[in-house]
Amino acid sequence: MFLYKFLPILIKSIAIILALVSGYLVYSGISSRMEKQHLRLRFKEEIAKRQNRLKVQAETGKAEEIFKESGYPLGITGVRWTIIYWILLAFLFINYIAYPYMAKGTISLISIAIIVSVMTLLSAAFPFSLTRFILKRLIEYKKAKRNSELFSLYDMLLSEIEMMQQTRINAYSLIRTLKPYFKELDGTITRLLANWTNDKGPEYALDIFAKEIGTNEAKSLANVLKKFDENKRDTIILSLKGMEDMFINSQIENYRRKRKLYVDLAKLPIKATHGLIILNFVVVIIFMVSYLMKDSKL
């Protein structure tokens, strides 16, 4: 009885072993060493091409895009998440579908429902998945923090210039002095300073800076910074103070965005509970349908 239970698994295992042995025998039957080397080279080239193709697809996919925008939380890239995702699905498929089918010849509809639910919830490409919900909230949080630091940069620039006595202001030196005070904008400011000193000059660097942040406030601040070396101190102060209302309104909107983000995160356990209730309801329906189908066969 014990051997009969595992007989299908044993037969399939023997078939796989025989297929591998036959492949090895075909390879060893090749006449010349040169042909073997050519075959190995073609095989390696084909594997390399497939790896490059998969890498390009993964790096340009939706998963990589949203993970990159969220700043790669916990060091997880879109490629790594995709690998973890498919390994988990493969484990669930083998453990709850393939193995029971090979051992008993049946597939549980509940197992299929659970695997489909996990597949949907963890998918980074599905618009309504739990993974995408969390990453979008993380992106909103990073944007809110970045906008808050941009306001701080504006305020510190204005304060520093008002305390200065010289009539001419060196924008590069001033930004480099203020750089250690920022965390979320640290990478952006580092790239700004690096581009500032290359052949393309400060205007190109400030355009990239404004484009990277992507807000009207960043564009306006970049336009004022472009004229720092040309204008006198009083003119620069007037230009910066002219943007005060815009930055204050932006900070108020940023505060509202942060509150909404905290509310959404606070509602996450409630939404998860609702999702589990719906999933439980679906599983019960599937179980009842499968039970009725078995009962009708009897």
Does residue 116 lie in a domain region? yes
Q: pLDDT tens, 26-53? A: 656 555 566 667 767 777 787 777 777 7
- Pair (155, 252) in one structural domain: yes
Range 270-292 average pLDDT: 74
Integer angstrom CA distances of residue 83 from 13, 54, 87, 110: 26, 11, 6, 25
- Rounded CA-CA distance 283/117 in Å is 11
Does residue 239 lie in a domain region? yes
pLDDT at 254 over 70: yes
Does residue 55 lie in a domain region? no
pLDDT at 61 over 80: no
- Pair (83, 112) in one structural domain: yes
The pLDDT assigned to 2 comes to 46
Instruction: Please give the distance of CA 11 from its chain centroid, rounded to a whole number.
Output: 43
What is the count of structural domains for the chain? Answer: 4
- Pair (156, 214) in one structural domain: yes
Does residue 136 lie in a domain region? no
- Pair (157, 244) in one structural domain: yes
- Pair (155, 216) in one structural domain: yes
Name the pTM for this structure.
0.65
Length of the chain: 298
Domain that holds residue 266: 259-296
- Pair (167, 249) in one structural domain: yes
Does residue 121 lie in a domain region? yes
- Rounded CA-CA distance 97/105 in Å is 10
Q: pLDDT tens, 148-207? A: 889 889 889 888 888 887 777 788 888 899 999 988 888 889 998 888 888 778 888 899
- Pair (195, 265) in one structural domain: no
Q: Please, what is the average pLDDT of the chain?
A: 79
Does residue 65 lie in a domain region? no
